[in-house]
Amino acid sequence: MGPLETGIMQPQAYGDEHLSLDFEQRVVLLDNRRLTLTRKEYDLLSLLVQYAGQIVPRDALLMQVWGYSPEIRTRTLDVHVRRLRKKLGAYADQYIETIFGIGYRFQPFHAPRYFQQALERPALAISA
């Protein structure tokens, strides 16, 4: 069942001043250079970007990317976030915010830090 059948139409790309993602080709460009991400790294970034501006809870990330249910204890998410940030270089902390005790949030490059959300997809349930 494809996007047409589901009625859910997702943008097939994301782009801001420094970063772009092509969700079809799984290609990520940072300042026009291609970022080589592993599968999980890409899946994680991609998910965060698709919820840009919104907090995505750890549990949701672990469920969507790893298929883990909430009771599983693992640090692999943290490690993946770290590696992602490393690859995002100088912009890392600007792009990927830690929401202590809850999860992470991807912010588009020039996003005003406060007062923001529109055009977004419905939240992935913010536990807490």
Q: Which residues bind DNA (CB under 7 A)?
A: 36, 38-41, 58, 66, 74-76, 78-82, 85, 98-103
Decide: 38 and 3 in contact? Cβ < 8 Å: no
Rank residues 52 and 55 by Cβ distance to DNA and give the closer one: 55
Rank residues 7 and 114 by Cβ distance to a second copy and give the closer one: 114
Closest of 64, 69, 32, 59 to residue 45, by C-alpha: 64
Q: What's the min distance (Å) between Cβ of 107 and DNA?
A: 14
Q: Which amino acid is at 25?
A: Q
Q: What's the min distance (Å) between Cβ of 45 and DNA?
A: 11
State yes or no: residue 126 binds a second copy (CB under 8 A): yes
State which of residues 7, 32, 69, 73 lies at the interface with a second copy (CB under 8 A): 32
**Residue 126 to residue 86: CA distance in whole angstroms:** 26
Rank residues 39 and 73 by Cβ distance to a second copy and give the closer one: 39
**Residue 15 to residue 126: CA distance in whole angstroms:** 25
Pairing state of beta strands 33-35 and 96-99? unpaired
**Residue 34 to residue 91: CA distance in whole angstroms:** 15
Q: What's the min distance (Å) between Cβ of 54 and a second copy?
A: 6
Q: What's the min distance (Å) between Cβ of 71 and a second copy?
A: 18
